[in-house]
Structure 1
Amino acid sequence: MDLYPPTMSMTWRLFSAQGVRAGPIRDAARGPEEAPPDARAAEESEQPRFLRGFHDILITIGVVVVLVGLWGIGGAIVVLPAIVILAEILVGRQRLALPAVSLTLALAHWVAQGMFGVFAVWRPAWQSDTYVLAYVCAFPAPLGLFYWRYRVPLSFALFLLSIAAVMVALVFVILEKAFGASFILETYPHVAATILLVAALAVFALAMRYDISDPHRLTLRSDIAFWLHLAAAPALLYAMLGFIVTFGQGGIWWGEGGLGQAVAVVFLVALFMTIGLVIDRRAFVTSGLLSLGAAIWTILQKSGASFDTYVFVVFAAVGLTVLVIGIFWQPLRRAAMSLLPEAVTARLHAVR
């Protein structure tokens, strides 16, 4: 598969010519040069180009409301032509970025709902993994066609993710037949966790390939990497959490699991936050916040803290973590990057 479509640079110029690239909003009373250097660097380090201004927001609201109304009136049969017509006008002609994202998501939702209805007839007769395989096979073609026509980064990222989902489901079906198991996730959890981890690593590697190919983040490759990282971060985290759960003695580590499992989760989330700092992708920070809160809850519960204080301590700890990382993103990133060899840092987004 050609990972870098030949029309990518042309598409980027077309989007740029229409002003799709969004810059940071600054105080009108201050020039850009007056903003603190770390603040400017933090603003500019990760800017997916899907918002141009309030016009995009207004059009997107209209798109969502119209599609919801049409779904209620005529169902999936009416919504698909509406998605195509709106995409042709708003994306194909006007090159509006945020409506392009919303229409891509609408198409994915249409496929999800439509296939659920189509396969509902056969679902009782199929095994779980076979049903999942048939279901995910419906996604690559429409998403690929949408990207081919409109060159929306999110649609290409979802196309790649849907192919990964098909491959995982296919492996599950093959193992199900080989082992004679009814549902591989339940009967062989360690094997399933390994397969999911390998798939998540593959998505992460693909995202890094796009990142490395555009270290200055000036083209749509960076946007594709953004969406892939957004999926890879939680996929990697929860695949690794699967090992913590299955190797632990408790049924689940949250509440019922041991203190050791909760501590392992904290270290895992810390590792992910460090990776996010190194590659300058905040998805690796946000993906672990729920697990971090659950782990802190478990630690407090096992330590015998008062029930009345757990919730507030958890919220305070998670919120403080977010604030510290967010406020000191650039200094923390400089510290993390200083520990790596220059051969690695030279290929990543530059530290400012």
Structure 2
Amino acid sequence: MTELKQILDDAAREGIMPTQTIDRLLPFLVARGVKVDMPSAVARPGEVPFSDTETPSFVRGFHDVLITIGIVVALAGLWGLASTYAVLPAIVVLAEILVRRQRLALPAVVLSLALAAWTAVMSASWVGSGFTSMNLGGSDTLQFTLAFPIVMGLFYLVYRVPLSLALSIMGAAVVLLQLVLRSLAWLSGDPLFELNHPGVLSIIAIVCAVGLFALAMSFDLKDPMRRTVSSDVAFWLHLGAAPALLYSVLSLPGLTGGTLSVLQTMSARTPLVVATVVALMLIGLIIDRRAFVTSGLLSLGFALYGIFRRGDASIDTYVFITLLTVGVIVLIIGTGWMPLRRFVMRRLPEGMQVRLPPA
């Protein structure tokens, strides 16, 4: 039934038949014993049952790209000419046409991102604070973040876009972090608890990041062959979990200054940075998610760039050694991904191997 539903969903995305027809056709075919034999979906020893390129399902053709360009340009023009409130109806109308009826994947992603941006701007205006003036455990930040899981969750319930569900889950994780910090501030009587106890903040952030990664893995394990919406949701959650893990772990050694303090002393932290990159690579190999690795590395690059922009961070030999080492690791693992993954998978327990994507 899973393969049959996937085929019908593909037909809906291509515009061959409307979703309403598929919702009625699927139980009709199943009731009459219609099945689809897909031998390639069954993993056999020595065979690769699915593509190992990890192509995102929202990348399908230039038709989607052309429409996406039109969406971006039109929304940008509307945002500049009309009130911010006018952008939301435009997003809904476009979603009704392009997502609900035509089932176009890339436009659905862009509309989800546009809705997230609109939510951020409107939340900041309603709270009445700028982005830079919000404290992590402050009431303004909590009110600002509360809107994301609600708005993106409603968008997912209506249009079933995997990215919107992932954004809703990540928003809920941030809200949970805010609630924990506010509770600790109330119990300790210290309104600036997160600033005065950065070590505790780092530990709480690590717990939230690990929880987000575990949730991403729960979606991944539901679909090891990467054919259903669960895999798409896991893809976006991994993109958020990797930088969350990276920043929270790197903030631990600098208990008095956070991530910035850690990376400003690169000569002392080179082993830490390299070990973090290797750990991200190893996790990515095991779960077969290049997106997880790429997101973590991009986050590390942005962190280094932000520090180099500050005048007090000297670019010395240790920095270049770190960059060279990380670059070599990326090239080695990137070019030999599948052989390295087979090597790693053979050393895992058999019970774990059968639940992960085949190598």
Structure 1 residue 128, shift from structure 2 partner: 5.1
8 Å CA contact 1:42–1:330 kept in 2: the answer is: no
Cα distance in structure 2, aligned partners of 1:306 and 1:120: 39
Extract structure 1 runs of 4+ deviating beyond 4 A.
Answer: 8-14, 40-43, 121-128, 247-251, 292-295, 309-317
Cα distance in structure 2, aligned partners of 1:311 and 1:125: 32
Residue 16 (structure 1) aligned with residue 16 (structure 2):
no
**Matched residue SS, 1:205:** helix
8 Å CA contact 1:250–1:257 kept in 2: the answer is: no
Residue 106 (structure 1) aligned with residue 114 (structure 2):
yes
The range that moved more, 156-165 or 126-135, is 126-135
The range that moved more, 182-191 or 75-84, is 182-191
Spell out, residue by residue over 1:2-55, the C-alpha distance to the aligned partner (whole angstroms, 9 max, x if none): xxxxxx9998555411456xxxxxxxxxxxxxxxxx9x8895352321121001
Spell out, residue by residue over 1:285-319, the C-alpha distance to the aligned partner (whole angstroms, 9 max, x if none): 22443538989xx9xxxxxx995x77776655444
Amino acid at match of 1:104: S
Residue 132 (structure 1) aligned with residue 141 (structure 2):
yes
- Compared CA separation, residues 173 and 122, structure 1 to 2 (3 A): farther
8 Å CA contact 1:265–1:292 kept in 2: the answer is: no
- Higher relative CO (CA 8 A, sep ≥ 6), structure 1 or 2? 1
- Any stretches of 5+ residues in structure 2 without a counterpart? 15-45, 308-313
Spell out, residue by residue over 1:135-165, the C-alpha distance to the aligned partner (whole angstroms, 9 max, x if none): 1111122211111111100011111111111
Aligned Cα root-mean-square deviation (Å): 3.3
**Matched residue SS, 1:347:** coil
**Matched residue SS, 1:138:** helix
Task: With the length of structure 2 as denominator, give the TM-score of the two structures.
Answer: 0.78
Structure 1 residue 266, shift from structure 2 partner: 1.2
Cα distance in structure 2, aligned partners of 1:76 and 1:306: 43
Cα distance in structure 2, aligned partners of 1:140 and 1:41: 36
Spell out, residue by residue over 1:226-260, the C-alpha distance to the aligned partner (whole angstroms, 9 max, x if none): 1111111111111111112228999723243662x
Q: Which residue in 2 is equivalent to 1:243?
A: 252
8 Å CA contact 2:270–2:322 kept in 1: the answer is: no
- Compared CA separation, residues 163 and 12, structure 1 to 2 (3 A): farther
8 Å CA contact 1:266–1:292 kept in 2: the answer is: no
Q: Which residue in 2 is equivalent to 1:156?
A: 165
**Matched residue SS, 2:255:** helix
- Compared CA separation, residues 85 and 247, structure 1 to 2 (3 A): same
Q: Which residue in 2 is equivalent to 1:5?
A: none
Residue 337 (structure 1) aligned with residue 331 (structure 2):
no
- Compared CA separation, residues 115 and 167, structure 1 to 2 (3 A): same
**Matched residue SS, 1:245:** coil
Cα distance in structure 2, aligned partners of 1:121 and 1:294: 25
Q: Which residue in 1 is equivalent to 2:279?
A: 271
Cα distance in structure 2, aligned partners of 1:44 and 1:340: 20
Q: Which residue in 1 is equivalent to 2:263?
A: 254
- Please, which of 291, 313, 321 is the counterpart of residue 283 of structure 1? 291
Amino acid at match of 1:156: L
Cα distance in structure 2, aligned partners of 1:312 and 1:137: 41
- Compared CA separation, residues 122 and 219, structure 1 to 2 (3 A): closer
- Taking the TM superposition and a 5 Å limit, the aligned residue runs for 1:1-352 are 12=6, 14-19=8-13, 44-120=52-128, 129-246=138-255, 252-256=261-265, 259=268, 261-289=269-297, 291=300, 316-351=324-359
- Compared CA separation, residues 132 and 13, structure 1 to 2 (3 A): farther
Cα distance in structure 2, aligned partners of 1:256 and 1:125: 27
